[in-house]
Amino acid sequence: KQEVTQIPAALSVPEGENLVLNCSFTDSAIYNLQWFRQDPGKGLTSLLLIQSSQREQTSGRLNASLDKSSGRSTLYIAASQPGDSATYLCASGNRDDKIIFGKGTRLHILP
Amino acid sequence: DAGVTQSPTHLIKTRGQHVTLRCSPISGHKSVSWYQQVLGQGPQFIFQYYEKEERGRGNFPDRFSARQFPNYSSELNVNALLLGDSALYLCASSFAGGPYNEQFFGPGTRLTVL
């Protein structure tokens, strides 16, 4: 049974810093790994999708990497801004047709 | 183009009642998935439908059911509501079925059970 873990649960960093969010999964036989952003009380916004055959994806200041062999993915945010404050969730697409989410990392960028 | 839409936005019910939540996918998308998100947790997978057929089911009791219509919109039904059913219910659409397609989420329906 796939388990997805995100550490830390919460993170506060000063504006302008680069930061890394971590996501680990127990079953490496995944189709893909997707990163989302969620603002309080809102739905999820898709940030990046990495297919199992890919190592990384980039969009603007965001870069996500995938290492299936070690069961890890990271989301790198460059030059953080107060508007980046949100909860970041990762989710694995699995071969039993289920999508499993982590509990998320609450990110707070300090002005 | 409109994104995924869900109705209603908020809903308050009492224990034992029944509720129906609705979702319209992005135009051209044929798959809809439903998730339950309890406060402080990640979304939990409930159902996926593709071409009006159930494609996947999470670990939820039979009180939860869903269906997909010919226009690819979907309904999630929950019977005999419990306090623990209070959550944000999220709908996601994707072009095709299966977990290998990018998921696009709606704003959610906030259900409160009193």
Q: Which residues of B touch A49 (CB under 8 A)?
A: 102
In this complex, the residue of A41, A91, A97 whose CB is nearest that of residue B56 is A97
Arithmetic mean of pLDDT, A87-108 = 92
CA distance A46 to A60: 14
Q: Answer yes or no: are the C-beta atoms of A9 and A89 closer than 8 Å.
A: no
Q: What is the mean pLDDT of chain A?
A: 94
Name the residue of chain A whose CA is nearest to B100's CA: A31
What does the pLDDT read at residue B100? 72
Q: Quick count: other Cβ atoms within 10 Å of Cβ A15?
A: 14
C-alpha R_g of chain B: 13
CA-to-CA separations, A104 to A6, A63, B13, in angstroms, rounded: 6, 17, 28
List pLDDT tens digits, range B91-101: 999 987 777 78
Question: H or E element: which one contains B21?
Answer: strand B19-24
CA-to-CA separations, B67 to B22, B47, B85, B107, in angstroms, rounded: 10, 9, 19, 20
Q: Quick count: other Cβ atoms within 10 Å of Cβ B96?
A: 12
Q: Which residues of B touch A41 (CB under 8 A)?
A: 88, 110
pLDDT category, B1, cuts 50, 70, 90?
low
pLDDT at residue A78 greater than cutoff 80: yes
List pLDDT tens digits, range A48-60: 999 999 999 999 9
CB-based contact (8 Å) between A103 and chain B?
yes
Structure tokens at A93: 């697409």
Q: How far is A71 from chain B (nearest CA, A)?
A: 17
In this complex, the residue of A34, A42, A95 whose CB is nearest that of residue B103 is A34
pLDDT at residue A69 greater than cutoff 70: yes
